[in-house]
Amino acid sequence: MFLIAGLGNPGSKYTLTRHNIGFLVIDEITKNLSVKTNINKSNFVADITKSSNTLLVKPQTFMNESGKSIVSIADYYDIANEEMIIIHDDLDLPFGTVKYKIGGGHGGHNGLRSIDAHMGKDYIRIRVGIGKPENKSDVANYVLSNFSKVELKDLEAIISHIIKSIEALRTLKIDEVKSKYTLK
C-alpha cells in the first residue's frame, strides 16, 4: 500500500497559501477518483481517502506536527517509508519547479522536520517550488500568504504534472522519475 501525504495547514484561511501546495495536490487527486472511501479515525488526526491500494492523506495537525499524524497512519497500516510520498512546498526552489528525492535535510521546513523526527528521512519527497520572499525575515508571512491569481492559473498545470509523476513513482525508480518529471 502507498501513503501519499500532502503537507499543509488545516482551516479555510490557509486553503490557497503557498504552504498548502501539498493539500492542493491531494484535493485534485481525490476530486477525480471514481471509487474512494473516507477513513475517519480520530487518532490519525488527518483527512484520509483510500482508493485501491493508496491512502491519500492531509494531516489536520498544523504543519509542525505533521509527523505525528503520518506516523500513526503508517504504523496502523504497516506502511514502510519506501512506500510513502510526501508532497511539500520548497522555498529554495523557484515557483513552478518540481523536484524529486529520497531523504536529505529538512531545509528548515517544519513539516519535514516533524516527519524526520518521527520516521527518519528515507521517504520519497516531491518538492514544489514556491519561490522566496525578498527579505529573509518575511519567510513565515510569505509561506502563509495566498498564491497570486497568475500563480493559481499556473498551478493547474503544475498539479496535473505532479499527479502524473505520482503514478510513475509507483512503477519507476526515483532516478527515472527525476529525469522524466523534474520541472525547472
Domains, the chain, ranges and CATH? Answer: 2-181 (3.40.50.1470)
Q: How far is CA 103 from CA 80, 95, 100, 135, 136, in A?
A: 14, 22, 10, 28, 25
The letter for the amino acid at 13 is K
pLDDT of res. 174? 94
Instruction: Give the full edge-to-edge strand order of the sheet including 84-90.
Output: 37-39, 46-51, 54-59, 2-6, 84-90, 124-129, 98-102
Looking at the annotation, which residues are catalytic?
A: 19
Tens digit of each residue's pLDDT (9 = 90 or more) over 82-115: 999 999 999 999 999 999 999 998 988 999 999 9
Task: Please report, rounded to a whole number, the percentage of residues in the chain having pLDDT higher than 70.
Answer: 100
Largest CA distance in the chain: 45
Q: How far is CA 123 from CA 46, 70, 87, in A?
A: 19, 12, 11
pLDDT band per the 50, 70, 90 thresholds, residue 38: confident
Rounded to an integer, the average pLDDT of 144-166 is 96
Cell numbers standing for residue 106: 529538512
Q: Which residues contact 61 (CB under 8 A, 6 or more apart)?
A: 10, 45, 46, 68, 69
pLDDT of res. 3? 97
pLDDT band per the 50, 70, 90 thresholds, residue 40: confident
| 134 has a pLDDT exceeding 80 | yes
